[in-house]
Structure 1
């Protein structure tokens, strides 16, 4: 079988860019040269790895299965040639991860800064998506792994629990509820509540826990993202119930979080992985850092 490294590199670059044109910039090749390499690889394998259109390309099922193997082959060769220690200092490449917005906004930056210090030549692409979007991105090979919430089972992915995040009340420091150390859901009866839409995984967790107890919060405002709801709270429009992870780790100049019980509701947060896929060494290094930081947070 006459598959060469240039063909593998071209396939990985096109799959990650989801575009032949964008891949030409990464590879510093002409569009015909990229097309020839892909055609030669598919002809040698005897299967189609990509479907092409005028605007974008998409991985076939075989392509999705082959992508992590191609990444691993390229990375293993680099390690063999340079040595593990030298590779850690000189490795270049791209790691794509999918992440729910709450983790991407407040938690992920510190981990990425740590990763950049250790591997300065590796680029990281973060796709911030809904919880369902994270699962789909990992399942289809659009991301090497994801950070998401435990939810509906998917036959092609597995969820690795890292932490439980309690839902808390977020309010302004000058709000009367900020003076209390702890709150119950009954304390919110007369408050102006800011919530997220019914399409949100966080809303589903709350509804499943509250409705059987006969608790039906009256959400005055509904947003698509938790960061938007916190913006409304900061502007003084109401108070919000959010996972603790959605709030800054360091003290915020305007917002505070107060425990919320009776009932206490937790959200399971963790890593989403494709069944049977082995992350490339660079992706595994980032995954290891994320797991360490999330379990300590």
Structure 2
């Protein structure tokens, strides 16, 4: 069955007692136009909807059943027009892929900022190595993760990456009092840091991981080759081990905001950085809800 809103409107007006002439007047149409709309609607129906009762048209049993549906269809259409009209808020859900310290420090305030608006955010934890693929395949709408300029990831077709903020990669070293720890006067000495970092155990993720690979490239610029004794991917565990004197682990200020430490933080002789990035499919950025989420994440990350 196929009909138009114009046909349904003419039917509803007549069904509520108007003559065809009265319906034409209310709808600002000719009598012939109203008659054509009623006839077109009837042709689409398997049963008669109207019968003539004097000057007026009356509803058949099938017409009485159909009237409620016609009114509901027209009401739904009006609601849809209102929902999509200029300036009307359109509620939508955005799936946000999150990972690690970047997400932990940015996502909670972002969700508070978005809480009373037309966007609902659903989060999915995604490993940093899988985040780009999750965005590209549509598993998530937006991905909040990290990138390393020293080890850039290959671009993904149809996915754009926006850098939200940049932070320096630091080394959390065993605290004073640990056997062989750096002295207070050595923490700013690049040559001493290089020698110490090459002679001390490290707490670091595997070279097969993005973070582990990026750190190895970055430290290589400072002529440091990490001697990994503890292969750990969890940031809190790695910082705790460094604080216990087990070795050196790379951190950023966002990481230590989540897991404060007594370990001194020292700079690499050749500074290295980590970027907080948001990834989104280029086509998805046209969605107002996705754009709103990206802009909110950016504002908080840069604050």
What's the TM-score once normalised by structure 2's chain length? 0.59
Q: 2:202 aligns with which of 186, 190, 193?
A: 193
Q: Is the 8 A contact 1:107 1:245 kept in 2?
A: no
CA–CA distance in 2 between the matches of 1:196 and 1:282? 36
1:295 paired with 2:302, answer yes
In the TM superposition, 1:17-166 aligns within 5 A as 79-80=83-84, 83-84=87-88, 87=89, 92-116=91-115, 118-119=116-117, 122-148=119-145, 149=147, 150-166=152-168
Deviation of 1:136 (Å): 0.6
State the shift of 1:212 in Å.
5.7
Paired residues for 1:199-238 under 5 Å: 199-211=208-220, 214-234=223-243, 236-238=245-247
Q: Distance in 1 between matches of 2:203 and 2:301?
A: 27
Say if 1:192 and 1:219, in contact at 8 Å, map to a contact too: yes
**Equivalent position SS for 1:155:** coil
Q: SS at 2:226's partner residue?
A: coil
- Summarize deviations over 1:64-115 as a string: whole Å, max 9, x none: xxxxxxxxxxxx967435943xx3xxx6543211123221233322322332
Residue matched to 1:14 = none
Q: Which runs of 4+ in 1 moved over 6 A?
A: none
Equivalent residues of 1:183, 1:261 under 8 A apart? no
Instruction: Give the direction of change, closer, same or farther, for the CA distance of 1:240–1:197 in structure 2 (3 Å limit).
Output: same
Gaps of 5+ in 1: 3-75
Show CA shifts across 1:10-67 (max 9, x none).
xxxxxxxxxxxxxxxxxxxxxxxxxxxxxxxxxxxxxxxxxxxxxxxxxxxxxxxxxx
Write the deviation string for residues 130-182 of structure 1: whole angstroms up to 9, x where unpaired.
Answer: 33311011101111111222522112212112222211123576665595664
SS at match of 1:126: strand
1:218 to partner: Cα distance: 0.8
Aligned counterparts, 1:246-265, within 5 A: 246-248=255-257, 254-255=261-262, 258-265=265-272
Aligned residues: 213
Cα shift at 1:216: 0.8
Kindly state the Cα deviation for residue 126 of structure 1 after the two structures are TM-superposed: 1.9
2:282 to 275, 279, 291: 275
Give the structure with higher Rg (CA): 2
Name the counterpart of 1:169: 171
**SS of aligned partner of 1:151:** coil
Query: For residues 243 and 113 of structure 2, what CA distance do their matches in structure 1 show?
Result: 30
**Cα distance, 1:279 vs structure 2:** 4.8
Indicate if the aligned counterparts of 2:201 and 2:226 stay in contact, CA closer than 8 A. Answer: no
Q: Secondary structure at the match of 2:277?
A: strand
Distance in 2, Cα, partners of 1:229 & 1:213: 21
- How far is 1:195 from its partner? 0.9
Q: CA deviation at 1:286?
A: 2.0
